Structure 1
Amino acid sequence: MDASIPPTEKLTPETQPANQSPTQLIELCGSENLFRNRYQLVRGLGRGGFGVTFLAKDMKLPSNPLCVIKKLCPKVSNAIVLQRARQRFEREAKTLSQLGSHAQIPRLLDYFELEGEFFLVQEYVRGRTLAKEVKLRGVFSEAEVKLFLRELLPVLSYIHQQQVIHRDIKPPNIIRCQDDGRLVLIDFGAVKEQFIQVDENTHKGATTHFVGTLGFAPPEQLALRATYASDVFAVGVTCLYLLTGKPPMEFDYDVDTGEVLWQHSVQVSDYFGKVLDKMLKTSLPDRYQSAEEVLRAIELEPYLDSLASCMSNHPLGKLDDEEMLHRSYLSPIVRTAIAIRRWRKRKLAAERRRKNSEMIIY
């Protein structure tokens, strides 16, 4: 299935939510009639707790490119709640628009409100999800998973720099673009969370909802306190899926700590195993706190042998400068410090020689 959304339940007139828009979107699929006098609906792609999604053609643009239309939430009738939802929708749409300037995030093409319901129109990404890729070609090697991290972590870092937490990273939400092979991250949970908050303001006690996917979401996210490190955990679980083809619920868990017991299911190097282990810590302080930290750990691995040869148990303070200069490697700072000490030593010796010669002449 080539689509910029994860595979979900297919739409039929029977499964279509009763609170559909006045235009009866499901009935427009495959017809010549246009939605909003612009979009020709091709088919329903799926539905979930946050609305429905359609594949459509933009008939007002040359070549009628495909796009994805997402109806985000049920119709809001209360005027105060509608205004609050409208403000959140505007804010989140602007955020998605800013994020879409990155080549690995679908562009936001349009957004609008229609009789109390909210719609996003996004770029259609032609490609295959990583979940589908694993099913078709098999599991990834360690080298391929490291390459995946090098491709995904920079875009995750970019998202976090925009102060956005994705909240739903998993293989069905990562697409390998058919055109150039780049990885594209889709289906941001941040927008969904905004509309849960609107709904909770109208239904007292509705505090059990969370945005994310069980098994991929760490404990703090289940407690509705997601952080940037929550996305790091989800990337770690995604790595386990790529390496094994097993969804997270098929792994055993430590009953005391809640840690994923993955070590016996995956054959990786000791170093990469330690990186994965730190990504998957259920304790937030023990986990990598950012995508940059994980990327640095991955990039450091090829240099471990050369760094080890530079290490010594011999305290540097007990070596004189000449001995230190003959070591295999010294940082620029250390070399500069040695140069300054040697310059001062020569200067003091010169001053002593000058004073001694003055005393002899006297």
Structure 2
Amino acid sequence: MLLQGRYRLIKRIGKGEFCKTFAAVDEGEFPPVACVVQEFSPEHEISNCFEEKAQQLKELGKHRQIPTLLTYFHQKQRFYLVQEFIAGTNLAQVVEEEGAFNETQIWQILADLLPVFQFISDRNIIHRDIKPQNIIRRTPPNSEGIGNLVIVDFSSAKIVTQIDWLTDEKTIGSPEYAAPEQTKGQAIFASDLYSLGVTCIYLLTQISPFDLFDIANNCWVWQDYLTNKNDIWRQDTKSFHLKKILEKLLQNTISQRFKSANEVMQAMGIQCKNESLELQNHLWHCSYTLTGHAAVLSSVNALAFYPQGKILASTNDDKNIKLWDLNKKKLIASLSGHRQAVKSVAFSPDGKILATASDDKTIKLWHISTLKEICTLLGHSHAVKSVAFSANGQILASGSWDKTIKLWNVNTGAEICTLTGHQLKVNSVAFSPQGEILASASYDRTIRLWQNNSEREFKNCPCYTLLGTLSGHAWAVLTVAFSPDGKILATGSDDNTIKLWEVNTGQLISTLLGHSWSVVALAFTADGETLISGSWDKTVKLWRVNTAEEIITLSGHTDSISAIAVNPVAQLIASGSRDKTIKLWQLVEQQGS
């Protein structure tokens, strides 16, 4: 069937009482472009004021997590909406193929979708059919790490700006997921939040919501049906917090339920605090921005402070390494030699050597005193994304997209050994402050801990063997950092979360939620009390390690954060960004405090 001479219906993919949904192609484009067409019968409520409702849906489609409304029209007493096709898999299919979701995945769903729910309700619209089938996980995921979940099918949506729509309506939506008031024809904004809660407990249990509700006692019993009975979230305090959030989403009584998506986000601790930037009578502010000329400083990839804190090293997309004098706030040297973008930089503990890693598959060692190259380390078969020195400065670890970690003798430049086991690309490596443990993070969603089990000479290695594997992130793990005492490991992920792990036991301590995009950089302050994180959401956040609470958000970059570093001797944080700048954040005492 061809509509308007260009929209060819391919197959029906959904059917309601008054609406049919078709996969289609727009033959008016070359080559033809996939799209989705919804056909409404004259009896559907959208036929009343069709133009106005279509305009509302067009406004909603401006959100990246709602399909764009391409056009609308009526033909032969039928009404049609043509929408963007979203490539991906709906959550009902995902749970069927991959099994029940874990705690981290549920946190991610809430963090990803709640801003969309607020966007919808702010425009006086109730979706009225939130369920796993109407939430699509994009394939492939967005490179930015956010907006991977898309809410589709607004055929049941209700606009509540007109008085006649505030009266009772027909029961609409899916009975398994509909809120009690919605089944009585009295849907409100909080009805969508209820349906989101039901969706979450279905994903956790993979059991029909009808079977998760005890009619005799008028309560949900979903916790009795958890697929993973030993899931740590049942004991973990942060996960207990998630249980409370789900319980409040699922309250039958409207007055006891969350009223808005913003209220849920506040309970989750993912809404930024805008009142002030105070921190124990102190104020963090951007004291200086290093920009340079376009030819001098391009997109910043990595940062490292000299051990005495007077020099900052930065790496960029222009293949060079920059050294900055922090006292004079000026560029003092530029090191060249890599053939592709430099992605990691690290000073040796004594400050005499600088190590750099590049997409050109090499690592280079440089003399700081002479600014001359010492040697080039060859061996990786793919881009090298991270380098780290051991505590004594004798070993250099490198992580590569060839899925391996290599250990190098800094004195001779010889390869000591290769650590294998990750199934996908290795993004980050870090030594514990004592040098006994090496951590590696990978796209395979795991962190591996490698232990130095020998004091033997390098030639008798492998000197590091696998101690354990940490799992829990829902997406790729991008960065790792040890606390100064080596007892805590922080990990940042594409799932927008930070996790704190107890190194000795491998147990998850807490999950930090607050960033809205991928967490790509982490660093502890010298006292170990504060964790700093950098994200593609353009912000730097500070967290109290002992309570897992967000302290402050530092904003100012106009593009994604790509790197952070903490000055070891001064109250100073450096952040690098794709906006081609480095910002220096200084802690200063407030006047009159």
1:306 aligns with 2:547: yes
1:293 aligns with 2:253: no
1:113 aligns with 2:79: no
- In the other structure, the counterpart of 1:63 is 31
- In the other structure, the counterpart of 1:23 is none
- In the other structure, the counterpart of 2:112 is 151
- Aligned with 2:201 (options 208, 231, 240): 240
Superposition TM-score, scaled by structure 2 size: 0.41
Is the CA contact (8 Å cut-off) linking 2:65 and 2:150 kept in structure 1?
yes
Q: For the residues of structure 1 that align with 2:57 and 2:213, how far apart are their CA atoms?
A: 36
Q: Which has the higher contact order (CA 8 A, sep 6+)?
A: 1
Is the CA contact (8 Å cut-off) linking 1:159 and 1:165 kept in structure 2?
yes
- In the other structure, the counterpart of 2:57 is 96
- Aligned with 1:185 (options 151, 159, 165): 151
Structure 1 residue 163: Cα displacement: 1.1
- Aligned with 1:271 (options 222, 241, 262): 241
1:128 aligns with 2:89: yes
- In the other structure, the counterpart of 1:168 is 129
| Aligned-partner residue type, residue 251 of structure 1 | L
Structure 1 residue 87: Cα displacement: 4.5
Query: Secondary structure in 1 aligned to 2:269?
Result: helix
How far does the alpha carbon of each residue in 1:56-114 deviate from its partner, in whole angstroms, 9 at most, with x for none? 111111321011111112469xxxxxxx9655211110111000001100011111111
- In the other structure, the counterpart of 1:280 is 250
Q: For the structure 1 residues 189 and 215, does the alpha-carbon distance in structure 2 shift closer, same or farther, using more than 3 Å as the test?
A: same
Q: For the residues of structure 1 that align with 2:86 and 2:21, how far apart are their CA atoms?
A: 14
Query: Secondary structure in 2 aligned to 1:44?
Result: strand
Q: For the residues of structure 1 that align with 2:221 and 2:156, how far apart are their CA atoms?
A: 29
Structure 1 residue 156: Cα displacement: 0.9
Q: For the residues of structure 1 that align with 2:43 and 2:181, how far apart are their CA atoms?
A: 30
Q: Which runs of 5+ in 2 are unaligned?
A: 143-147, 271-510, 513-543, 550-588
- In the other structure, the counterpart of 1:218 is 179
Query: Secondary structure in 1 aligned to 2:177?
Result: coil
Q: For the residues of structure 2 that align with 1:218 and 1:86, how far apart are their CA atoms?
A: 25
Structure 1 residue 55: Cα displacement: 1.5
Q: For the structure 1 residues 88 and 184, does the alpha-carbon distance in structure 2 shift closer, same or farther, using more than 3 Å as the test?
A: same
Structure 1 residue 44: Cα displacement: 2.3
Structure 1 residue 276: Cα displacement: 1.0
Query: Which structure is higher in helix share?
Result: 1
Query: Which structure is higher in strand share?
Result: 2
Q: For the residues of structure 1 that align with 2:256 and 2:58, how far apart are their CA atoms?
A: 34
Is the CA contact (8 Å cut-off) linking 1:110 and 1:121 kept in structure 2?
yes
- In the other structure, the counterpart of 1:36 is 4
Q: For the residues of structure 2 that align with 1:163 and 1:240, how far apart are their CA atoms?
A: 27
Q: For the residues of structure 2 that align with 1:272 and 1:36, how far apart are their CA atoms?
A: 49
Structure 1 residue 190: Cα displacement: 4.2
Structure 1 residue 228: Cα displacement: 1.4
| Aligned-partner residue type, residue 38 of structure 2 | K
Q: For the structure 1 residues 87 and 304, does the alpha-carbon distance in structure 2 shift closer, same or farther, using more than 3 Å as the test?
A: farther
| Aligned-partner residue type, residue 547 of structure 2 | S
Q: For the residues of structure 1 that align with 2:92 and 2:47, how far apart are their CA atoms?
A: 34
Is the CA contact (8 Å cut-off) linking 1:189 and 1:211 kept in structure 2?
no
How far does the alpha carbon of each residue in 1:229-280 deviate from its partner, in whole angstroms, 9 at most, with x for none? 1111111111101111112012132535x33122322453322111111111
Q: For the structure 1 residues 304 and 238, does the alpha-carbon distance in structure 2 shift closer, same or farther, using more than 3 Å as the test?
A: farther
Identity %: 35
| Aligned-partner residue type, residue 192 of structure 2 | D
Q: For the structure 1 residues 227 and 46, does the alpha-carbon distance in structure 2 shift closer, same or farther, using more than 3 Å as the test?
A: closer
Q: For the residues of structure 2 that align with 1:38 and 1:180, how far apart are their CA atoms?
A: 29
Is the CA contact (8 Å cut-off) linking 1:254 and 1:261 kept in structure 2?
no
Q: Which runs of 5+ in 1 are unaligned?
A: 1-27, 29-33, 77-83, 202-206, 309-334, 341-362
1:54 aligns with 2:22: yes
Q: For the structure 1 residues 254 and 86, does the alpha-carbon distance in structure 2 shift closer, same or farther, using more than 3 Å as the test?
A: closer
Is the CA contact (8 Å cut-off) linking 2:169 and 2:186 kept in structure 1?
no
Larger Rg, first or second structure (1 or 2): 1
Q: For the structure 1 residues 278 and 75, does the alpha-carbon distance in structure 2 shift closer, same or farther, using more than 3 Å as the test?
A: closer
| Aligned-partner residue type, residue 185 of structure 1 | I
Query: Secondary structure in 2 aligned to 1:110?
Result: strand
Is the CA contact (8 Å cut-off) linking 1:51 and 1:70 kept in structure 2?
yes
Equivalenced residue count is 265
Query: Secondary structure in 2 aligned to 1:112?
Result: strand
Structure 1 residue 189: Cα displacement: 4.7
Q: For the residues of structure 1 that align with 2:101 and 2:43, how far apart are their CA atoms?
A: 43
Query: Secondary structure in 1 aligned to 2:547?
Result: helix
Is the CA contact (8 Å cut-off) linking 1:72 and 1:192 kept in structure 2?
no
Q: For the residues of structure 2 that align with 1:232 and 1:192, how far apart are their CA atoms?
A: 15
Structure 1 residue 45: Cα displacement: 2.1
Structure 1 residue 39: Cα displacement: 1.6
Indicate the RMSD between aligned Cα atoms, in angstroms.
Answer: 3.0
Q: For the structure 1 residues 189 and 304, does the alpha-carbon distance in structure 2 shift closer, same or farther, using more than 3 Å as the test?
A: farther
Q: For the structure 1 residues 88 and 190, does the alpha-carbon distance in structure 2 shift closer, same or farther, using more than 3 Å as the test?
A: farther
Is the CA contact (8 Å cut-off) linking 1:41 and 1:57 kept in structure 2?
yes
Structure 1 residue 210: Cα displacement: 1.2
| Aligned-partner residue type, residue 46 of structure 1 | G
Query: Secondary structure in 2 aligned to 1:225?
Result: coil
Query: Secondary structure in 2 aligned to 1:306?
Result: coil
Q: For the residues of structure 2 that align with 1:281 and 1:75, how far apart are their CA atoms?
A: 33
| Aligned-partner residue type, residue 264 of structure 1 | D
1:72 aligns with 2:40: yes
| Aligned-partner residue type, residue 183 of structure 1 | L
Q: For the structure 1 residues 299 and 95, does the alpha-carbon distance in structure 2 shift closer, same or farther, using more than 3 Å as the test?
A: same
Superposition TM-score, scaled by structure 1 size: 0.66
Q: For the residues of structure 2 that align with 1:192 and 1:42, how far apart are their CA atoms?
A: 28
Structure 1 residue 226: Cα displacement: 1.3
Structure 1 residue 283: Cα displacement: 0.5
Q: For the residues of structure 2 that align with 1:49 and 1:230, how far apart are their CA atoms?
A: 21
Q: For the residues of structure 1 that align with 2:78 and 2:169, how far apart are their CA atoms?
A: 24
Q: For the structure 1 residues 159 and 260, does the alpha-carbon distance in structure 2 shift closer, same or farther, using more than 3 Å as the test?
A: same
Is the CA contact (8 Å cut-off) linking 2:73 and 2:80 kept in structure 1?
yes
Is the CA contact (8 Å cut-off) linking 1:75 and 1:117 kept in structure 2?
no
Q: For the structure 1 residues 292 and 114, does the alpha-carbon distance in structure 2 shift closer, same or farther, using more than 3 Å as the test?
A: same
Query: Secondary structure in 1 aligned to 2:129?
Result: coil
Q: For the structure 1 residues 305 and 242, does the alpha-carbon distance in structure 2 shift closer, same or farther, using more than 3 Å as the test?
A: farther
